[in-house]
Amino acid sequence: MVDLFVVIADRDCDRQRNTQRLGQAASADPRVAWCCAIEEVEIWMLALHRGEFATWNEVRAHCDVKEHYALPFLARRRFSGPGKGRKAAMALLGQEWRGLLQVCNELATLRETIRTLG
């Protein structure tokens, strides 16, 4: 039995029409809450460390965040462990959740969607 199924995909500048495709697939079942990460899920990790980037808006708007920002960031900071250091880089999430919702509005929208489904 499934009460709620959350689907999160990278939008990747919508080159593959991920937003439309995911929305169509999810609309078939009212128990599905979905979200396209803008641009990639790694942006959420980087948002926790956005003070380290001079131009956060450029990072947020870049189509290939993982390759251009996230992987170099993880290497520079020497994060290691699960997810090539992503887990360690996400350790601030509990303290920074509200801030993350402010700069990644797709997460705030997903949270509200889940609340309305509940």
- Tell me how far the alpha carbon of residue 82 is from its chain's centroid: 17
What per-residue confidence (pLDDT) applies to 27? 83
Q: Is the pLDDT of residue 30 over 90?
A: no
Task: State how far the alpha carbon of 39 is from the alpha carbons of 21, 60, 62, 78, in Å.
Answer: 16, 7, 7, 23
Give the rounded percent of residues in the chain with a pLDDT score beyond 70.
98
Q: Which stretch of DSSP H or E encloses residue 99?
A: helix 93-103
What per-residue confidence (pLDDT) applies to 26? 82
Average pLDDT, the chain: 90
d(CA 1, CA 35): 22
Cα-Cα-Cα-Cα dihedral sign, residues 22, 40, 113, 5: positive
Q: Residues 36-67: pLDDT tens digits?
A: 898 889 999 999 999 999 899 999 999 999 99
Average confidence (pLDDT) over 14-36: 87
Distant-in-sequence, close-in-space partners of 17: CB < 8 Å, separation ≥ 6: none
What per-residue confidence (pLDDT) applies to 25? 83
Q: Is the pLDDT of residue 70 over 80?
A: yes
Residue with more model confidence, 27 or 67: 67
Binned at pLDDT 50, 70 and 90, residue 73 comes out as: very high
> For 54-92, where are the alpha helices, taking DSSP H only?
56-61, 65, 71-77, 86-89
For residue 63, the enclosing domain spans 5-117
Distant-in-sequence, close-in-space partners of 13: CB < 8 Å, separation ≥ 6: 39, 63
d(CA 53, CA 14): 24
Residue 12 structure tokens: 């990747």
Domain tally for the chain? Answer: 1
